[in-house]
Amino acid sequence: MSTQALIQLMPLVLLIFIMYFLLIRPQKKREKTINQMRNSLKVGDEIITIGGICAKIIKLKDDKITVEVGSDKTKFEIMRWAVSKALSNEPVKEPANKNAKGKKAKLAEPDADSSDNEPDAQEEQDPKK
């Protein structure tokens, strides 16, 4: 092959390389985390199915999950792959950047001076002024 043919193929190879890192690799990573979540389900977990049904797991088999739905506790079986999300009751992890958390907390705190600028409710209702 001549160098000119290699130069012509270079954009195609570059495009395939970019598509792999922008589309295929992130999809495989997402699929891996979803499969890990589905395999770590246990009895008592609350889930959301791909159909949007919120349910509680009452029995696990290999590929089937028996869930309980609603106040009348209707039971039915779904496939493990039909679980979209597991609602965990575990505490939320601390953010890695502690400075960002501190800045948000400072913004949420009310200023001591701002209460002096606001008129009292009784002054607003007083018709004499």
Give the pLDDT score at 34: 95
Give the pLDDT score at 94: 47
The predicted-structure confidence for 20-66, as pLDDT tens digits, reads as follows 999 999 999 999 999 999 999 999 999 999 999 999 999 999 899 99
* pLDDT bracket for residue 82 (50, 70, 90): very high
Judge whether 41 and 47 are in contact, CB under 8 Å: yes
Give the strand order in the sheet containing 54-60: 74-79, 64-69, 54-60, 46-49, 83-87
Judge whether 78 and 69 are in contact, CB under 8 Å: no
* pLDDT bracket for residue 3 (50, 70, 90): confident
CA 118 distance to own-chain centroid: 39
Q: In terms of pLDDT, which residue wins out, 87 or 88?
A: 87
- Phi, psi angles (nearest 5°) of residue 34: -65, -45
Give the pLDDT score at 88: 73
The beta strand positions in 1-129, using DSSP E, are 46-49, 54-60, 64-69, 74-79, 83-87
Domain ranges, ordered by start, for the chain: 1-40, 42-88
Q: In terms of pLDDT, which residue wins out, 117 or 72?
A: 72
Topology given in CATH for the domain delimited by 42-88: SH3 type barrels. (2.30.30)
Which of 62-66, 75-79, 95-99 bottoms out in mean pLDDT, i.e. has the lowest?
95-99
